[in-house]
Amino acid sequence: MNLRQELKANPRLYQQMNLLYMPLLDLRAHLNEELKDNPCLEPVEEEDTQVSLEEIRALAFGDGGGRAAAGFEVDADSKGRERAGPNQAQEDLWCHLSDQLRLLKLEERRIQVGEEIIGNIDADGYLTCALDQIVESLNEHLRFGSTVLEEDEASVNFSPVSINDVKEMLEIIQGFEPSGVGARDLRETLLLQLESKGDEGTFTFKLVRDRFDDVAEHRWEELSKEYGVTPQEVQAAHDEVKKLEPKPGLKYSSSSSPYVIPDLMVEKKEAGEGGGYRVSHNDGVLPRLKIGSSYREVLAQPGESEAKVKKFVAEKFEKAKLVIRDFDERRRTMIKLMEFIVDRQEVFFEKGEEHLRPLTQREVAEHVGMHESTVSRFSNKKYVRTPHGRVLPLKFFFSGGLSTDYGDDVSNRGVRLQIEKIVSKEDPKAPFSDPQIVNLLRKSGIQIARRTVAKYRDELGILSARLRKRV
């Protein structure tokens, strides 16, 4: 025997935390499931539906076939509330390529080769395996399929796929839309796109084909001497290359533009309301819940209902109360958290991103009364609509900061924005180096190291001064 202490989370706490972490659309689906599964819950908009004791009895004994037996039709988006948006089914890249393949009306054997190639193209549009692996895979498949045939019939139907068969079909697929699909690297996809435009004989095509690395490194002087042209002509060819699509399959990606619904809304108060900002929860896409009066009456009638019926109703009644209570707790917590952020970031809401102040999850956790890791998980996939009309992730407001000479702090995000502005206003023929950017930021009071500027510049996708320079 031994004595020890254990800390266990009860099911009630698990449910409360799960609701807290759920993104808005997941929460809506969860509440709709609760409406379907729990007859004690009703949407607030519905008039009280009087359910007879016989209908409740049918549900308790499993004879009712769900909520329909009690006369409920659950639709969280009825009564004219905003929907989450249509399910925009988008044709994916592989279906698009397969459709083009079938339109060619090739023999089935060649179509099998084409389908195998298409199956090895990734979402960016690149072929992800070597041609000899495709040959091996196809021959293994044909060999396996031939085992079900008679010996003489198999010898007629099975003839191995060669590397030339695969190369021929790959060349055909590389002519499909989107232009540049089926390439094995960036250089090849750019060449395919130039070919599709009829630019095979151009200077741009020659540069990409023969001196791709030098073009990527902006070696204008060296290339101009080799080809007998001016550095400006080399740079103009590079500008043409930059107009091409480095990931041709991306426009068919269903995840390229996710549909986002804000959990919270921040609105500016009218002058008569004392100014400042108002935080509200986006209840428009969620079903508002209440407990049906019919079930309360069953519990209030001692001795008139069967024990099993009363037990069924009591269990569902308690669960319904917890669902409503936990949802209200989630709503209050989100509003409390966002009100703290708005109070801290008021200058951002007034003047824009450049004035975003440093704010850590630990500060928010101390204010809301949560653990820092809970705030981190809670902030995932939550969005806020600001008075400027932008929908921002909740984590947008969390960042470290740098000190200024004026006693205030500025967020890392604000510093990145200032670096972006400095670069956008520079002379293209004499771009600012990292030490020059450091000096410009220090003039505005921001103390920052050169390596930090280089780090932020890389994160913003801004090239070094040498690669930004125009001739």
Of the candidates 435, 444, 252, the one whose C-alpha atom is nearest the C-alpha of residue 354 is 444
Q: Give the residue, 17 or 443, on which the prediction is more confident.
A: 443
C-beta neighbour count of 129 within 10 angstroms: 16
User: What pLDDT score was predicted for residue 296?
Assistant: 64
Residues contacting 200, CB < 8 A, separation 6+: 194
Q: Is residue 7 over pLDDT 80? A: no
Q: Lowest mean pLDDT: which of 257-271, 402-416, 434-448?
A: 402-416
The string over 157-193, giving b where at least 16 C-beta atoms fall within 10 Å of a residue's C-beta and e elsewhere, is eeeebeeebbeebbebbbebebbbbbbeebebbbbbb
Q: In this predicted model, what pLDDT tens digit does every residue of 136-166 receive, in sequence order?
A: 888 877 665 544 444 444 444 457 889 999 9
> Across the beta sheet with 277-281, what order do the strands follow?
277-281, 264-268, 383-385, 391-393
Alpha helices for 44-159 (secondary structure H): 53-60, 93-103, 108-119, 131-146, 151-157
Instruction: State pLDDT tens for residues 374-417.
Output: 788 778 888 999 998 889 998 888 877 666 655 456 778 888 88
| pLDDT at residue number 229 | 94
Which residue, among 397, 359, 334, has the nearest Cα to 23 in the 3D structure? 334
276 CB contacts (<8 Å, ≥6 apart)?
268, 269, 346
Per DSSP, the three-state class of 111 is helix
User: Is pLDDT at 68 greater than 50 in this prediction?
Assistant: no
CB atoms closer than 10 angstroms to residue 244: 19
Judged against a pLDDT cut of 60, whether residue 255 lies above it is answered with no
The encoded tokens of residue 1 equal 């025997």
User: What single letter denotes the amino acid at residue 220?
Assistant: W
- Residue 274 binned pLDDT confidence (cut-offs 50, 70, 90): confident
pLDDT band at residue 80, thresholds of 50, 70 and 90?
very low
pTM: 0.59
Contacts of residue 395, defined as CB under 8 A and 6 or more positions apart, other chains included, come to 379, 380
Query: Which one of 3.60.15.10, 2.70.70.10, 1.10.10.60, 3.30.70.1880 gives the CATH number of domain 401-468?
Result: 1.10.10.60
Least confident range from 177-181, 318-322, 461-465: namely: 318-322
Torsion of CA 313, 314, 315, 316, to 10 degrees: 50
**Contacts for 360-365 with beta carbons within 8 Å, 24 or more apart?**
360/398, 360/400, 361/398, 364/337, 364/340, 364/398
357 pLDDT band, cuts 50/70/90, is confident
Burial grade of 360 (CB within 10 A; 0-12, 13-18, 19 or more):
middle
pLDDT of residue 85: 38
State the helix-helix crossing angle for 450-459 and 412-424, rounded to 10 degrees.
80
Structure-token pair, residue 248: 């041709």
**CA distance linking residue 457 with residue 14, whole number of Å:** 42
- What value does the mean pLDDT take over residues 234-258? 83
Q: What percent of the chain has pLDDT over 70?
A: 77
Q: Is the pLDDT of residue 347 over 60?
A: yes
**What residue ranges do the domains of the chain occupy?**
93-173, 185-253, 401-468
